[in-house]
Amino acid sequence: MEKKRLSDLPDELLLKILSSLPMFKETLATRLISKRWKGPWKLVPDVMFDDDDTPFKSFETFMSFVYGSLLSTDAQILDRLHLKLNQNYSASDINFWVQIAVNRSVRELRIDLFGKTLELPCCLCSCRTLKELTLHGLCIKIVPPSFRLSSLEALHLLSVKFLGDESVASLLKICPVLEHLVVDQIKNDNVKISNIDVPTLRNLSIRNSKGKHGKRTYVEGSNGFVIKAPSLTELNFEDTLSNFTMFEPMPEVIKANIQVICDQSENFIGSLTSIQHLSLCSLTSKTPYPACTVFSSLKHLELCTCSAGWANLLACILNAAQELRSLKLKSKHSAKYSDPMSLWKEPTVVPDCLSKHLEILEWRQYEGTEQERNVAEYTLANATCLKMATFSTRCRNKNHRMLKKLKSMDRVSKTCQLVFD
């Protein structure tokens, strides 16, 4: 009987044999690998397997390439593995590929499944080198309580669906040293209230929107986030869907970019007691912090002027931010709202930040409305230390009436430079 070599077997049969081997037999599989998988298929430190690439004309060709690359005897340390899988693959295939990456001391892992379900590979529990995990376009199964990602520092959840509210919390609980979290939801999700409770978290970025970037869409029912991250230093929170948000005290946050649509409780930006840089867009009709709040460290404020009550919110913040050095006003959204414009209520006492500290005023999309003229006039008349006031308008005629009015406004600071761009 003629003996057949492993290399004589069809790709489909050979892949079936290799994929059925237990993960701990990787060394044996490497020895059995076909000669046709040697040479050009050498694993580089940063590799992506995408079954939608043109060279892969068939499922078998792609599988041959993946196994040939990962099982190469010349394989070295693997810094990053990206699996971009449009077709259906068994859990054993994905587990096998991830196991090899773990054996290669992988530091970053990304899995894209385009709407399919993922069960986290159990081999990740034994991985001591994995620092960053990105999951994109998939549904994740409930994570067992015993599962641990003990070295994971950064987690990116991009269009990830969960089986229920507790799945979000359970996933975060298995990451005991997590410092960076990104949550990007751009479609309707089945989780109504997302609980983010991570004591070690330093950087949090959340985007919860639908359709075009920044478009606001009101939803019915209770939808939103409860965030408890006492060690957080930087927050990027864009939520144009939720009608409920709660921030627990976050005394370490120094920089925050916040865009929300819902009326907030006093435990909103009032929890950011050490904030230094704040970019805020809010439709709230209430001051989103207790009346006695003082933002003693706030030096730079960017406020969106798209809401009806932006001017009065500005007045409140100016009183609370006694050390403010720079102020930027900008309309980030062009949407029209039904609420009537709240007229500017001039502060009875000039805020300390205007009379003692404000040096830079930058106003983008200045339209010259009555509301805007009143705020501009008050600021220029009371900002004693102002060095530069920049107004960006759509008007290119230097003799336009709007620009003439700005130029004629009294400036208490004799060194203030008025700039138009």
| Helix orientation angle between 11-19 and 59-70, rounded to the nearest 10 degrees | 50
| Nearest C-alpha neighbor of 310 from the set 232, 256, 367 | 367
Residue 24 lies in a domain: yes
Q: Rounded to the nearest 5°, which phi and psi values hold at 315?
A: -60, -40
Three-state DSSP at 390 gives strand
Q: Which helix (H) or strand (E) holds 78?
A: none
Find all residues with CB under 8 Å of 53, minimum gap 6, and list them. none
User: Among candidates 373, 370, 280, 391, which has minimal Cα distance to 332?
Assistant: 280
Q: What is the pLDDT of residue 274?
A: 93
* 104 falls within a domain: yes
Is 101 inside a domain boundary?
A: yes
Question: What's the CA gap between 207 and 158, in Å, rounded?
Answer: 9
Q: Are 306 and 335 in contact (CB under 8 A)?
A: yes
CA distance 32 to 17: 11
- Domain containing 39 equals 12-178
Q: Is residue 197 within 8 Å of residue 172, measured between CB atoms?
A: yes
Residue 254 lies in a domain: no
Assess contact for 369 and 400: CB atoms under 8 A: no
The confidence score (pLDDT) of residue 332 equals: 75
In a domain, 60, yes or no: yes
In this prediction, residue 341 carries a pLDDT of 60
Eight-state DSSP code of residue 288: S
CA 410 – CA 387 distance, rounded (Å):
14
Closest CA to 83 of 69, 68, 98: 98
What is the reported pLDDT for 187?
60
With respect to residue 274, please indicate whether it lies within any of the assigned structural domains: no
**CA triple 324-402-370, angle to 5 deg:** 65
Q: Which residue carries 């397997």 as its tokens?
A: 49
Query: Beta strand 180-185 with 193-197: parallel, antiparallel or unpaired?
Result: unpaired
The answer to whether residues 132 and 154 touch, using CB atoms and an 8 Å cutoff, is yes
**Other beta carbons within 10 Å of 48:** 12
pTM for the model stands at 0.84
Burial of 172 (C-beta count, 10 Å sphere; 0-12/13-18/19+): buried
Bridge partner residues of 277 (DSSP): 255, 300
List Cβ neighbours of 400 (8 Å cut-off, separation of 6 or more).
none
Q: Is residue 29 part of a domain?
A: yes
Domain count, the chain: 1
Per-residue pLDDT tens listing for the chain (421 residues): 555 555 566 655 655 565 554 433 343 344 444 444 444 445 457 888 888 876 666 777 777 778 777 766 555 778 899 999 998 888 888 998 899 889 889 999 999 999 999 999 999 999 999 999 999 999 988 788 889 999 999 999 999 988 766 778 889 999 999 999 999 986 656 666 788 999 999 999 999 876 554 455 555 556 788 899 999 999 999 988 887 788 888 999 999 999 887 766 666 788 898 999 999 988 765 677 888 889 999 999 999 998 888 998 899 899 999 999 999 999 876 544 445 566 788 888 999 999 999 999 999 999 888 899 999 999 999 999 999 999 998 776 666 788 889 999 999 999 999 998 8
Which 8-state DSSP code applies to residue 411? Answer: -
* Residue 391 located in a structural domain: no
Q: What is the model's pLDDT at position 398?
A: 62
Structure tokens at 201: 């978290």
* pLDDT for 149: 96
